Every structure is written in structure tokens, then in C-alpha cells.
Structure 1
Amino acid sequence: MNILKIDKVAVIGAGSWGSVLANVLVQNGLKVQIWTRESDQVKELNEQHTNRHYLPELKYDQRLVATADLQLAVAGKDVVIIAVPTKAVRDVAGKIDQILQQQTKKPLIVHVSKGLELGTHKRISQVIEEEIPANDCTGIVVLSGPSHAEEVARKDITLITAAAKDLTTAKTVQQLFMNNYFRVYTNDDIIGVELGAAFKNIIALGAGALHGLGYGDDAKAALMTRGLAEISRLGVAMGAKAKTFLGLSGVGDLIVTCTSVHSRNWRAGNQLGKGIPLKEVINNMGMVIEGISTTKAAYELAQQQQIEMPITEAIYDVLYNDRNVKQVIAELMQREGRSE
């Protein structure tokens, strides 16, 4: 695909990340339609140029067009960006493919979700491949890395990764998004980029819990370091390259998610550390906490692969076995000594 031919983009999902990426692309000179099933949100974006539930401080570019009509959003686009929660990807991708089957144009598919499909434990690109066959698109690219929508909205400096099996398609996405505050690198390790993006949310829950309990920087640094070691082990066992976990979508995303109040996974963990019940935490958040389901997926994958993941197991126990946070931390600290 020639970058010069790309003009029209659809963004499917008008949450914080999807809407801010749509705004970046509009300001980069592209024609962008953003889809949401919420008619009130469409009206607000088109008339007020705001998205108060997600990014109350941002005034969106007036050239951004919102629609609740998926057919209208997808038809004739050069690039379709899927920006819905992990649990909705399969359903939305299937509906997109029904539209693509009716047209000759085969768009590039980009996804920006961070998680694994519940039950199957499949990566998002695998789910999309099953729902949108290769003959209905020109490729699938993952866009991921250390990025908070709130900071991109302020045009803070942000660096992320575009990953694809074919680097040509990754470079296309790279050029679409690049500007003076948003820089994109390319990577051909789509497995590692997706797994790093998903698994870091588990460790972010733990980092938030440590903060909620009042622990300091030493504990947080230890959690992030040992957390990276164990998610890397599982990632490599699943076909990822070890060095990917040292890049933007690995340690970069881990750092930002484990240290920022913008991270909903960190905020959820912080509430758990303060003793708030999980159900209440979920209700308080008002948005999807991907790390909760990803913890279950990683725990089950680790059992299948026979990979030791003590931190993940501890967080799983807190989330799914109603274990006390302080107790699981004590058990982690009292494990038999070993080498790094």
C-alpha cells in the first residue's frame, strides 16, 4: 500500500484512546470518521466537539465526523482502526467484515486494544484474522506502547510501536501518525508487542495495590522488575522475541502503566490495596479494567506452558480467590531464595 493513497480513515470506538487517535489523524490532514453506537455521543462530538465522559478537557478538531452507522463509517476507507474493548473485538470485527465483503476496496486494519480474548486466550490480531480474512483486507497492524490518551490530548511527547508481520504495512501506519509530538517505531514481532501490551496490565494492578497499601518506591521497583521477568518468560514461551519486552511495548508500557494515575489498572489496584471490594472497584471505574480478565488468561496460560509466574499467581488469588492482599505479599516475600 502506498502511503500517498491513504486519505480516508475509520476509527471504530469513541472511548478515550480511539477518540484521541482520531483527533491526531484529523490534525495530520486525514479525513476521519469515528463510530460509536451511542447516539448521544455522536451528537456531542459533532455539535460540541467534546467527549466529556472520557476526555472532558479536550476540544476535538471540528473536522472529525462521528456516526452511529457502522456501514457509513467503514465503507470506502483506506484504513480501519479498531479501538473497542477486548471483549467486543470479535463481534465488531465480524460486523466490519460483513461490510468489507460488499465492497472492492480492501482496507488496512489497525487495532489498538490491549488484552487477550477471554476463554480462548487469543491475541487480538488472531481474533481479527479469524473474523476478517486476508482476502478482505490488506493486512493487520498493532499500534501499542506507553501512551495515555490524556497526555496525547495535551500533545505531550509520546512514542509507541506499530507492529505487523509485514513491515511495509507497519511503516504505513507509522507515517500516518507521525508528527512533532507523536512518534511511531516499527516492529515485526506482533506476538511480543501484543503480549507485552496485555500482560503489563497485570503488573499495574499490583503496583496500584502496593501504593494503596502505603508501600514505597523500593517495593514498586521490585514489582516492576520481577514482573517484567515473568511476563517475558511467558511471552517467549508463546513465540515472542525476548528483546521486544525491553522496548516501548514492553518495559516502556509497563513503566507508564505502573506509575501513572491515568492508568485505570493502577487505579483499580490502588483501590484494592485500600481494601475496597473488587465489585465496588469495577463499579467505581466506569470503564473496562483489562487487567482483571488478562490476569485470568495469563494465569491459565502459565499453567498450560508450565511457566513460573508468582506475581501473576498472587494477583490472580486476590482477584479470583478473594485472598487478602497483604497475605499474598507476605507469601511472595517468604518464597525460597534464588538467583536472578
Structure 2
Amino acid sequence: MDGLRLNIPPARANGNLPKRAEPYARLAVIGMGSWGTALATVAATAGCDTRLWGRREALADAIRTAGENVDHLPGIKLPATLKATSDLSEALDGAEAVLLVTPSHTLRDVARAMRPWLPEGIPIALCCKGIERGTGYLLSHVVEEELPGHPVGAISGPTFAHETALGHPTAATVAFNFRHHDRIAPERAPAARLALTMQTQAFRPYVSDDLVGVEVGGAVKNVIAIACGMMTGAGFAENTRAALITRGMDEMKVLAEALGGKRETVTGLSGAGDLTLTCSSSTSRNMSLGTQLGKGIPRAECFGGKATVVEGEVNAVSVVDLARRVGVEMPICEAVHAILYESAPLSETFQALWSRPIEGEPRALDITLHPHEGDPA
């Protein structure tokens, strides 16, 4: 990203010269869902001593005995070296870094539960996406409150768990804020070390120092995906989805910049990449929910009536609340929020979105054109 220049030289015989960045030897992955299991698979494949934690002992036992996560990634054989446990102290014992892969609404409780078992200074990477409802906090702020004294970052990008676990070529961003000593000795920075820990022949990490931009992209893209699904379900096609993706990316940029992030981060893997993937496949629960709602299926009957957590549905509240607090306009997210929580009719809400005053697309072009009196809206 702009402003981040890392030059990590290879190991040399002279011990006074900079050393090669060292991967972490032991990793704890907290969260035994599909994405947590996929990331644990990547780390174990990379040769890292990896422990995967989940609340349910029955599922941990099934992974140990059957070698697969039958609930979340059925049919995919997991590395024999991967250790599954429902004991949080066992998962964190000796861990040099932690991946937190729990749903955003349970993150605070899980982070608090980790506190007695986690030595100070161990880096924590968030692998869930969202903004905390009520506080408006980015998830990194939530973890910093519950686990002070730890570097906090994120792993984000266009990554479906099933494909990642199967070893399909996948790229993601590893983001941590870079402190002064991280720039002087980048080979010791958590982002660099974690990227090396996760690198395999199929999983390619990139390093970023813009944690805010990466987090905003991950939270907003889920809401935009619901919008794309709604319009797809209502019978619209490629033009509409392309417009929503592009203007949704602009909403990401505006919010990221307002919170201190970089607009250009949103054009990377954690922004444009993740947004494009999530808005283009029914594999995404966010896209799927929107599609069902767009077809007129009541929310209670979506997913066959099965209770299904959809992060964008939760994020629609927190993203819009935060945007209003910091004074930025996010009309697509506002439209999704109105349909989900204010009983706004889908067709009329999107028609109003398309009928807003004409604006200049470059930010430098400050122009607003209102329809003439009597013109059709």
C-alpha cells in the first residue's frame, strides 16, 4: 500500500546483517467454522504447528478421528498434523500468534475468554469481518479493548473457505498497523511474519499497513453483496450488478477515508477483490440472502427456514450507524438497511436509489444536478 516499503533481505552469513523474516512456529486458530478450518488447513500445510479451537467437543473429536470437518467442510481431508480441541487453554498454549475466526457478534466474548491463557504481546489477526453493533467499533478496536498489549491485525481478501481448503490458488491481505520499530526491522513485524507463516504454493499473502482500510472493506462488502443479490433476485442482470459493485466500492472508500484509512486500499484484495467475489456468486450467504429477498421470499423462509447467520445482515445496521455518526453518505447501504429493518419495499427503494440527483464521479468534480420540476423520478 502507499507509504509501505518493505525490503526484507535474505539471510546472510554475517550475523550483523539483517536476518530473514521468520514464520511463527505455532499458531492457534480460534473458530472451528468453515473459514477457521480452511485457514488452519493452510497454516498446517505450510508446516506450522497449528491448533484449531471450537466450542463443541463432538466436532473437535470428529476432526481428530475422521480427519475432516463434517459440519462445515465435509469431504475435504484435513492435514494429519492439524490438532483440533475444545479446550481454549490447550489451543493457546505456546501459541506465537492467533487467528480469531469467530462471528463478529461473538468476537468480544471470545476475546475476553482468551485473556487468562494468552501471554502479553502475542499478535492477533482478525479473520472475521464487521463493525460492532452499538459501539460502532471496528473489530480491531473490540479486541484491543478486551486484550490490551497485543498487536492486532487482520487477514482479508477474496476467499471462499471451500476453495481455500482444497488448495485452489488464493490471495489475501495480511494487515497490521506498522509501528516505528516495524519499519526499522520489517522482518520482525507481525504482518511480515504471519504472511510467511501462511504462505503455501497455493495461498499467497500480501502485506498491508492499512488495517482500517482492510477492515472497512471487509465489513461493507457484505452489505453491498446483499444489494446485488436483491437486484439479481428481482430479475436484473449484469449492468445492475456492475453498477452496484462500482458504486459500493466508492462507499467503502468514503468510509475508510473518514476513519483514517486509505482510499487505495479499497482497490486491493480486501476491497475490490473481496467485493467482486462476494457479489458474483451464490456461494456467498450475503448474495444468496439478497437473491431470495429479491424474489419475494420472506426472511423467515430464506435458506429453507433454517436459522442462518448472514454477516451482511448484521453489518447493515452497524455500517449505516457508523456512517451516520461520521457524516458520510452511503446510499446503497442505506437502501439495504431500509429494506431489512424499516419494512421499505424493495422495488421502490432501489428506484429511489437510481433516481437520486446526478453527481460527478471524480471527487474533484463537485456537481449535483436535480431533475426539473415535473420530470419523472
Provide TM-score, normalisation by structure 2: 0.85
For residues 141 and 233 of structure 1, what CA distance do their matches in structure 2 show?
21
Q: How many pairs were matched up? A: 334
- Residue in structure 2 matched with residue 142 of structure 1 by the alignment: 154
Contact 1:2 1:172 in 2 (8 A): no
Q: Which amino acid aligns with 2:198?
A: F
Report the 3-state secondary structure (helix = DSSP H, G, I; strand = E; otherwise coil) of the residue aligned with 2:360. coil
Supply the distance in 2 between the matched residues of 1:165 and 1:191 (Cα, whole angstroms): 9
Do residues 153 (structure 1) and 165 (structure 2) align? yes
Closer/same/farther in 2, CA of residues 286 and 66 from structure 1, 3 Å limit:
farther
What is the aligned-residue RMSD (CA, Å)?
1.7
Residue of 149, 174, 194 corresponding to 1:162: 174
Distance 1:110 1:230 in 2: 25
- Return the structure number with greater helix share: 1
Alignment of 1:58-207 (within 5 A): 58-100=76-118, 106-134=121-149, 137=150, 139-166=151-178, 168-207=189-228
Of the three residues 55, 58, 61, the one matched with 1:40 is 58
Structure-1-length-normalised TM-score: 0.94
Post-superposition offset of 1:5: 6.7
Deviation at 1:313, TM superposition (A): 1.1
1:283–1:190 distance in 2 versus 1, CA, 3 Å: farther
Alignment partner of 1:9: what SS? strand
In structure 2, the residue matched to 1:319 is 340
Note the C-alpha offset of 1:109.
1.3
**Alignment-mate amino acid for residue 31 of structure 1:** D
Q: Deviations over 1:150-196 (max 9, x none)?
A: 11122111111000012511111110111111111111010000011
Q: Which moved more, 1:242-251 or 1:304-313?
A: 304-313
Q: Distance in 1 between matches of 2:161 and 2:23?
A: 28
Contact 2:99 2:126 in 1 (8 A): yes
Identity %: 36
Whether the 8 Å contact between 1:82 and 1:109 is mirrored in structure 2 is: yes
Cα pair distance change 1:240/1:284, threshold 3 Å: farther
1:11 paired with 2:29, answer yes
Deviation at 1:284, TM superposition (A): 4.2
Q: Which amino acid letter does the alignment assign opposite residue 70 of structure 2?
A: R
1:28-87 CA-to-partner distances (Å, cap 9, x unmatched) read 111111111112111110001111221123111122111111011112111111110111
Give, in angstroms, the shift of residue 129 of structure 1: 0.7
Find the structure with the greater CA-based Rg. Answer: 2
How far apart are the structure 1 equivalents of 2:44 and 2:77? Answer: 13
Deviations 1:240-286 (A, max 9, x none): 11111111111111101100122111111111111122233377464
Q: Structure 1 residue 26 and structure 2 residue 26: aligned? A: no
Unaligned runs of 5+ in 2: 1-18, 183-188, 362-377
Q: How does 1:200-279 map to 2 (within 5 A)?
A: 200-279=221-300
Per-residue CA distance 1:272-311 (angstroms, 9 max, x = gap): 1111222333774644211112111121122222212211
- Deviation of 1:232 (Å): 1.3
CA separation in 2, counterparts of 1:284 and 1:59? 30
Q: Which amino acid is 1:288 matched to?
A: V
Deviation of 1:141 (Å) = 2.1
3-state secondary structure, aligned to 1:259: coil
